[in-house]
Structure 1
Amino acid sequence: MNVVNFFKDLSSRFNQSEFYKNIASLFTGMFISRLIPFVFALAIARLYAPEEFGYFALYLTIASALSIVSTGKYEKAIILVDGEHERKQIISFAQRINSAVNLAALLVVVAIILLFKSDYTQKINLLLVPFYSYFFSSIQLIRNLYISKKQFRQLSVLEIGRAILTGILQCAFFVFPTSGLFLGAVVAQMITFFGFSIKINEASLFRFGRFKPEEKVLAVRYIKFPKFSILSEVMNFISSQLPIFLFKPFFGDKMLGLYSFSHRYISTPVQLLSVSISSVYIQNAKSLNEKPETLAKSTFSLFRKQVVLGIIPFTILGLWGEQIFSLIFGTEWAFSGYLAQLISPWLFFVMLGSPLSAILIVKEKQHVSMWYNTLMLTTRAASLLVGGLLLKDVVSAVSLYSLTGLVFFAFLTFYSLYLAGVNLKKAILYLLKMVLLIAPFAVIKIWLLK
């Protein structure tokens, strides 16, 4: 009866809270926007050959890497600035950087094409890279503008519209088989940007031109973003791609596929939830930054709900992942489910720590984030090298990689709670209490093995 009352009380408070309603609204939009590509994949898989997906993945990765530096990460400062005037200035400054960086990248691409021999497909895809980076980064500015204004419904519409456009255009451009996927993605970003930029008052800020004195003052005020966040994002990007780079040479294509399959289908809902929560939480934390007691209470309440939401699904996955994957996807994916069991504790803490880490931006701890991602990249690489080169065992490699992730994201979780003013002893005790509540699942697992 107490459990029933607990969830009734939780549901009642959820329905009365604008904060959690915003999370639900954004999560719904993000979920739909991620579901749409799977629907279009049914058609795209029949229109393009596997190697054409390879070209798309390669150039999309290059463009994504370029977009990390194209705004100097000043798009994150949009949420922190005070007042509409400063927000306009920082948007204008970030967009001018975006224009300059991608124009320079376009000139480099043209020079590469002229100096080095390359086929027609490579030329087209290389030329598209700066355009994707430019429009993707411009949309990021609009996204953070929506977050700063608490316009989460508009943000959901943006994500869904961009996903639909991408799918339609990628299907339409199948007549250009070697560049159609990337071309569709670029044009979709462009249409999305122009379609949404004209609907906001800040539309006139998306332009070329000289940096204004007011913009320079704000740029210096938020210099930590380009100084620390760019390197931090690069480290995080490389860190997330490590298994893809190292699994194939160590364990072959099959093991890479089995690991990628398990990670993809577990991490996708975690990422959706993390983005939804962090987008709402960062704005809430910024508004409560001058009210430490309220911020601490709000953050601890969010932490508790995250634990309740994730602990049972991840426990079941951690104990019976092999059986679940075998039942849903077939026996050939059973080992992928076993790998899912190994990475589930790490991804549970990703679900906890990733959204809460938005407090590092509010508290302007970008240097901590940079050193965190640098150290995590180093230890993750070491864990995969030990598992692949010394132990030569995929289970050992995944276990070490997961353990590393668990340690780092557990630290990130509790460090974020500390920055928000939450009593760490109370948070740890709450987590331990919840772990004890799910202990019977482990007992059932042991009993079934007898």
Structure 2
Amino acid sequence: MRKILKNDFNRNVLTLLTGTSFAQAVPIAISPILTRMYTPADFGIYAIFVSITAIFGSIATGKYELALVVPESDKDAINIASLSLLISSIFSGFLLLLVILFNSSITKLLGNDEISPWLYVAPLFIFLIALFQILNYLNTRFKNYADISRANIYKSFVVAFFQLVLGYFKIGAGGLITGQIFSNVAGNTKLIKNILKEKSLIKAISFKEMKRLGKEYNEYPKYTMWGTLAVTLSQNVTNIFISSVYSIATLGFYSLVHRILAVPTQLIGKSIGQVYFQKASEEKNKKGNAQSTFDSTLKKLLLISLPGFTLLFFLVKDIMIFVFGSDWAVAGNYARILIPLFCIRFIVTPLSITAPLFKQNKFGLKWQVGLLIISIVLFIITKYNNITITNFLYIYTTVLSLYYVYYFYKLRKFSRIFSTDVDHKKGSDSPN
């Protein structure tokens, strides 16, 4: 154990993992209670709200937060963070205006009247998502991994408290949504304290620098943002599709499965991905490529995912029935079908930052748009051929799994590209 902790990469991953493990354990622990307090339809409405806010929250910053780890100067980083915050504020305000003007039309489009009042809250939640992304990457740059872990723990306790208390009073999907909103407030409060302490950096914020850096890192809004929107749409539009083609209750079953199977990626994969990003950036700046960091991270992901997801495949149905009750047996069937896709995502997602790190944003955009197009084509085929939800999930898993394998192949290739950026900083290294 001491040998493992001596490795800086492993120590940072474990720091994040400890906090995120605890943070994820709380919502999972209360899930059996929530499934008895809320109906599948409540979870369905909640899933629609989360999908809408996730889609817009993914692009609210223009994806400039991804550039926070890249520059050598902390002053540049704080100005990029300020630019991200300004963009997200304007974007959220614009969305609020749209909701005020077109609430009834949006509600009709979503096909569920109960979501209507929560549309007014969505822009605020989108801003909170954007703020957390900014603070998360800024704290990653400063290696405040312990505070990132604590922020995730605070979020988990707050969401659990509100969802349980409001669930007791039977207020429906509003209890699930309110818990999510206040959890982000708690997480942001913790992370922003570290930044406010850096008074010298805050004084360095200027609109002139924000404008300069906005131009310097304009590949992020030009390519990464639209790619992120495409992939977020492809992941979240599934909820809206299932709700409209099948039923809100079916969406409730699917959303629970998605929530449970996504835990390994959110818990372990996200922690590994954050540290990978920081270490890969360092290796790229020193050597010109990130081959060593990529390969070592891949080995860790494979050692964790293959045994874990294989075991889960054989046990998941019985676990679902035992933990969540017999009313949720259908969710167990859905989970077994989707496990291969979630296993591949667990491996590829933490490594996906390789593309923008090596300025392959254009490829990232093309791949992510392709993912969205594939998803939409599958939805159209399913709708007009009356394909059952089970068969749809089989097709969805197979096609997307193969597409993620192709993405992994390209990411591995990018990690071996020699970057000439290193030449400007230190002599002329030659590629292997």
TM-score, normalization: structure 1?
A: 0.76
C-alpha RMSD of matched pairs (Å): 3.9
Provide closer, same or farther for how the CA distance between residues 280 and 58 of structure 1 changes in structure 2, counting only shifts above 3 A.
same
Q: Does structure 1 conserve the Cα–Cα contact (< 8 Å) formed by 2:58 and 2:232? A: no
Q: Does structure 1 conserve the Cα–Cα contact (< 8 Å) formed by 2:16 and 2:145? A: yes
- Alignment partners' CA distance in 1, 2:130 and 2:200: 14
- Alignment partners' CA distance in 2, 1:39 and 1:266: 14
Q: Does structure 2 conserve the Cα–Cα contact (< 8 Å) formed by 1:93 and 1:211? A: no
Alignment partner, residue 167 of structure 1: 160
Structure 1 residue 287: Cα displacement: 0.9
Q: Does structure 2 conserve the Cα–Cα contact (< 8 Å) formed by 1:96 and 1:211? A: no
Q: Does structure 1 conserve the Cα–Cα contact (< 8 Å) formed by 2:223 and 2:365? A: yes
Structure 1 residue 60: Cα displacement: 4.0
1:75 is the counterpart of 2:65: yes
Alignment partner, residue 151 of structure 2: 158
141, 152, 156: which is aligned to 2:134? Answer: 141
Alignment partner, residue 24 of structure 1: 14
For residues 297-352 of structure 1, the C-alpha deviation after alignment (integer angstroms, 9 at most, x for no partner) is 23212212222222223334456766776777788877655544443332222121
Unaligned runs of 5+ in 1: 1-10, 423-450
Q: Which moved more, 1:366-375 or 1:339-348?
A: 339-348
Provide closer, same or farther for how the CA distance between residues 395 and 113 of structure 1 changes in structure 2, counting only shifts above 3 A.
closer
61, 69, 89: which is aligned to 2:79? Answer: 89
For residues 417-440 of structure 1, the C-alpha deviation after alignment (integer angstroms, 9 at most, x for no partner) is 211129xxxxxxxxxxxxxxxxxx
Q: Which moved more, 1:226-235 or 1:339-348?
A: 339-348
Tell me the amino acid that sits aligned with residue 299 of structure 2: R
Tell me the amino acid that sits aligned with residue 240 of structure 2: F
1:220 is the counterpart of 2:215: yes
- Alignment partners' CA distance in 2, 1:253 and 1:360: 37
- Alignment partners' CA distance in 1, 2:309 and 2:160: 32
389, 394, 400: which is aligned to 2:395? Answer: 400
1:35 is the counterpart of 2:30: no
Unaligned runs of 5+ in 2: 418-432
Q: Does structure 2 conserve the Cα–Cα contact (< 8 Å) formed by 1:292 and 1:420? A: no
If you compute each CA radius of gyration, which structure gives the higher value, 1 or 2? 1
Q: Name the SS of the counterpart of 1:200 in structure 2.
A: helix
1:197-276 mapped onto 2 (5 Å cutoff): 197-201=192-196, 212-247=207-242, 259-276=254-271
Q: Does structure 2 conserve the Cα–Cα contact (< 8 Å) formed by 1:52 and 1:177? A: no
Alignment partner, residue 410 of structure 2: 415
Structure 1 residue 193: Cα displacement: 2.8
Structure 1 residue 89: Cα displacement: 1.0
TM-score, normalization: structure 2?
A: 0.79
1:303 is the counterpart of 2:298: yes
Alignment partner, residue 308 of structure 2: 313
Q: Name the SS of the counterpart of 1:305 in structure 2.
A: helix
Q: Does structure 2 conserve the Cα–Cα contact (< 8 Å) formed by 1:67 and 1:136? A: yes
Tell me the amino acid that sits aligned with residue 95 of structure 2: A
- Alignment partners' CA distance in 1, 2:162 and 2:323: 32
Q: Which moved more, 1:399-408 or 1:316-325?
A: 316-325
For residues 176-232 of structure 1, the C-alpha deviation after alignment (integer angstroms, 9 at most, x for no partner) is 94755544543443354344323324677999xx97111111001111111122222
Provide the identity percentage: 19
Q: Name the SS of the counterpart of 2:284 in structure 1.
A: coil
Provide closer, same or farther for how the CA distance between residues 132 and 393 of structure 1 changes in structure 2, counting only shifts above 3 A.
closer
Q: Does structure 2 conserve the Cα–Cα contact (< 8 Å) formed by 1:92 and 1:205? A: no
Q: Name the SS of the counterpart of 2:194 in structure 1.
A: coil
Alignment partner, residue 276 of structure 2: 281
- Alignment partners' CA distance in 2, 1:362 and 1:213: 25
For residues 253-284 of structure 1, the C-alpha deviation after alignment (integer angstroms, 9 at most, x for no partner) is 67655555544433322332221111110011
Provide closer, same or farther for how the CA distance between residues 82 and 345 of structure 1 changes in structure 2, counting only shifts above 3 A.
same
- Alignment partners' CA distance in 2, 1:185 and 1:121: 17
Q: Does structure 2 conserve the Cα–Cα contact (< 8 Å) formed by 1:384 and 1:400? A: no
Structure 1 residue 144: Cα displacement: 0.6
Alignment length (residue pairs): 409
For residues 357-396 of structure 1, the C-alpha deviation after alignment (integer angstroms, 9 at most, x for no partner) is 1111211222222111111122233334445544734444
- Alignment partners' CA distance in 1, 2:162 and 2:212: 41
